[in-house]
Structure formats: structure tokens, C-alpha cells
Structure 1
Amino acid sequence: MNPIIAMLKENNISDEQISDVFEALTQNPLAAMATIGQLGLPQEQLQLLMGQVMQNPMLIKEAVEELGLDFSKVEAAKEQLNK
């Protein structure tokens, strides 16, 4: 299991909320950070999660694929950020 998904599940985040987070990550990564911040994770876990998201974008791709979401939206979002 993807470490980001595993951490969220360990903190009793529902599958629906996890899907919402990764849906947000695929559409607007910056807005997704606010969504993640609203999950009520303990501060140290929130920092760890944010660090994983920022330092290892491949984890996002793996999680998106694991959840069956559309990764092409992540690529489109990255292009928007680079403009």
C-alpha cells in the first residue's frame, strides 16, 4: 500500500476523504494542501505527509493509480503551475 494512503488510513481518514484528497491533488496541488490540512491529522504526521508529497511526487502517482483516479490530470496541473 502507498505510504501516504497508509498514513491517512492509520489516522482514521475515510476512503472517501482519501479519494477527495487525491482528486484535489490531481486538479490543484496547492489547494490540495489546504484539504490535507483540514483532515485533523496530528501536527507531526501532517508535516511528515506534506514532506512526502513535496519530496516524492511519484508517491502521488502511485496513490492515484492505486485509487483508480486519472493521473493525466496531475500532469495537466503540473503544466499549469509551470506557466
Structure 2
Amino acid sequence: MNPIIALLKEHNISDEQIKEVFQALTENPLMAMATVQQLAIPPEKLQQLMGLVMQNPNLIKEAVNELGLDYAKVEEAKAQLNK
């Protein structure tokens, strides 16, 4: 299991909520951050999660694929942010 998904499940985040986070990520990365903040994950765990992603950004792609979402949408959203 992807470490991002595992950490979210460790904090009793439902599969539906996890999919919502990654769906938001594929549509609007800024919205995804707001969605993550609403999950009530302790700040130190959230920081750990962000560190994990910073060290290995490919984990996002793996999680998106594991959830059956379209990673190309993440790339499109990223391109929009960079404009």
C-alpha cells in the first residue's frame, strides 16, 4: 500500500475521504490542501506526510494510480499553477 494512503488510513480517514483528497488533487491542488486540512490529522503527522511527499514526489503518482484516478490530470493542474 502507498505510504500516503497508509498514513491517512492510520488516522481513520475513510477510503471515500482519501479518494476525495486525491480527486481534489487531480482537479485543483490548492483545493486539495484545504481538503487535507479538514481531515483533522495532527499537525506533526501532516508535516511527516508532507516531508514524505517532498522526498519522494512519485508517491503521489503511485497513490493516484492505486486509487484508479488519472495522473495526467495532476500534471495538467500543476501546469495551470505554474502559469
TM-score w.r.t. the length of structure 1 is 0.91
| Aligned twin of 2:61 | 61
Name the aligned partner's letter for residue 49 of structure 1. L
After superposition, the C-alpha distances for 1:37-64 in whole angstroms (9 at most, x for unaligned) are 1101111101112233344321110000
**Change beyond 3 A, Cα 1:33–1:54:** farther
Correspondence 1:76 to 2:76: yes
Report runs of 4+ in structure 1 exceeding 2 Å deviation.
50-57
Q: Percent identity?
A: 75
Unaligned runs of 5+ in 1: none
Alpha-carbon distance in structure 1 between the residues aligned to 2:36 and 2:51: 12
Q: Does 1:21 align with 2:21?
A: yes
Give the aligned length.
83
The letter for the 2-side match of 1:15 is D
1:11 and 2:11 aligned: yes
TM-score, length basis structure 2: 0.91
RMSD: 1.2
Name stretches of at least 5 consecutive residues in structure 2 with no aligned partner. none
Partner of 1:33: 33
